[in-house]
């Protein structure tokens, strides 16, 4: 094995190992995610009951099992019923818990199947009978705990697969170095550097936008996949413009056809495509980027093939 290949392989293993180790340490140190919320509200006790304006609280919990620790501080004569609903604040409750004697009341509310659901928590104060009509202040403390950050095997498998793929790419790239001549290698080096800058710029732009725009509609997942696809396409186009994408013995026709097929499938194929569903989500957004990139690549390859044929014909004549 060449020194360069060995060095790159070792480097990849170290990088992936550090990522896995960091994830492991984080999961060990912080096995559960915790959110804390505190607010107060005024309730009015009347002869007919308790009037309040406590709005339902909306949660989109991460993880399957969620536990809410609820603490309510207020006068002893108020009991509070805490209910959890799924979908909307008008739907039937899936969990009901009564906190009696609010003065020192707290409860643990468990939701065992919360993944991907919209949860609403409502507080319904009641007069247990001992309070005189008046206004009272209630202090609420909420702590949500989820099992999401526990270590999952999925990302581990993905990381290992990426590691194997990375090593394979490094080994084959170094082995096939002789399929490019010196001018092509230099051009590929420049293109790789420019593609890396493009990927970094994508990530940097996303970082700036997501910080400055509240609820920025593009997720990290889309940016990660999209940046890599855009960078790879830019690399391929820059290489091909400088006649350095295909090796000395490679034919471009197969790749050209593949690019058109990939572009068409990503944009027009049945199922989860943007044009198929007519709306954006993470999958269709990524598919749209993939489709556009492959289309651009296919157009560039087609134009370049025509130029190449013309140049070869001119040279022969």
CB-nearer residue toward other proteins: 275 or 307: 307
d(C-alpha 29, C-alpha 36), whole Å: 19
Query: Residues for the chain: how many in total?
Result: 317
- Alpha carbon distance 31, 148 (integer Å): 8
Whose Cβ is closer to other proteins: residue 132's or residue 248's? 248
- Minimum Å gap between C-beta 183 and other proteins is 5
Distance in Å, CB of 184 to other proteins, minimum = 6
By beta-carbon proximity to other proteins, the closer residue of 47 and 314 is 314
98 vs 183, beta carbon nearer other proteins:
183
Q: Are 148 and 33 in contact (CB under 8 A)?
A: yes
Residue 192: which residues within 8 A CB-CB, separation 6 or more?
Answer: 235
Considering the complex, what minimum distance in angstroms separates the CB of residue 19 from other proteins?
38
Identify any residues that bridge with 38 across adjacent strands, giving them in sequence order.
141
Interface with other proteins (CB under 8 A): 181-184, 243, 248, 311-312, 315-316
Least distance (Å) between residue 198 CB and other proteins: 24
- State how far Cα 25 lies from the chain centre: 21
Residue among 104 and 176 whose Cβ is closer to other proteins? 176
* CB 295, CB 234: distance < 8 Å: no
CB of 193 to other proteins, least distance (A): 18
**CA–CA distances in Å: residue 289 to residues 14, 233, 293, 294, 298:** 31, 11, 6, 9, 14
Q: Are 141 and 40 in contact (CB under 8 A)?
A: no
Q: Residue 164 corresponds to which tokens in the numbers above? A: 């194997």
For the CB of residue 186, give the shortest distance to other proteins in the complex, in Å: 9
Residue 149 neighbours by CB under 8 Å, 6+ apart: 26, 27, 30, 31, 32, 33, 63
Whole-angstrom Cα Rg for the chain: 30
Q: Which is nearer to other proteins, 52 or 304 (CB)?
A: 304
- Nearest-approach distance from CB 187 to other proteins, in angstroms: 9
**Tally: H helices and E strands in the chain:** 7, 9
**Residue 52 or residue 188: which is nearer to other proteins going by CB?**
188
Q: 145: closest CA among 29, 38, 67?
A: 67
Please name every residue paired with 70 in a beta bridge, in sequence order, or none if there are none: 107, 142
State residue 75 phi and psi, 5-degree precision: -65, 150
Taking the complex as a whole, how short is the minimal distance between the CB of residue 242 and other proteins, in angstroms?
8
Q: Which is nearer to other proteins, 85 or 184 (CB)?
A: 184
């Amino acid at each position: 094995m060449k020194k360069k290949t060995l060095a790159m392989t070792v480097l990849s293993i170290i990088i992936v190992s550090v990522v896995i180790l960091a994830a492991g340490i984080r999961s060990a140190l912080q096995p559960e995610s915790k959110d804390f919320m505190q607010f107060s509200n005024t309730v009015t006790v009347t002869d007919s009951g308790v009037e309040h304006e406590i709005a339902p609280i909306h949660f989109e919990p991460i993880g399957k099992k969620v536990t809410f620790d609820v603490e309510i501080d207020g006068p002893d004569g108020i009991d509070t019923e805490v209910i959890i609903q799924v979908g909307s604040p008008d739907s039937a409750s899936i969990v009901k818990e009564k906190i009696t004697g609010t003065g020192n009341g707290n409860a643990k509310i468990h939701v065992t199947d919360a993944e991907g659901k919209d949860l609403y928590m409502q507080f319904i104060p009641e007069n247990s009978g001992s309070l005189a009509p008046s206004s009272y202040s209630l202090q609420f403390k909420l702590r949500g705990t989820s099992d999401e950050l526990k270590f999952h095997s999925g990302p581990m498998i993905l990381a290992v697969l990426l590691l194997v793929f990375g090593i394979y790419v490094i080994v084959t790239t170094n082995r096939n170095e002789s399929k490019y001549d010196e001018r092509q290698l230099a051009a590929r080096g420049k293109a790789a550097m420019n593609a890396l800058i493009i990927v970094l710029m994508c990530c940097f732009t996303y970082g700036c936008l997501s910080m400055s725009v509240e609820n920025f509609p593009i997720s990290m997942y889309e940016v990660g996949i999209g940046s890599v696809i855009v960078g790879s396409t830019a690399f391929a186009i820059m290489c091909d413009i400088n006649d350095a994408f295909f090796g000395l013995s490679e034919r471009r026709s197969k790749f050209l056809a593949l690019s058109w097929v990939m572009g068409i499938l990503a944009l027009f194929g049945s199922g989860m495509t943007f044009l198929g569903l007519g709306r954006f989500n993470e999958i269709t957004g990524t598919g749209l980027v993939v489709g556009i990139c492959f289309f651009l690549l296919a157009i560039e390859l087609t134009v370049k093939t025509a130029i190449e044929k013309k140049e070869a014909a001119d040279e022969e004549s």
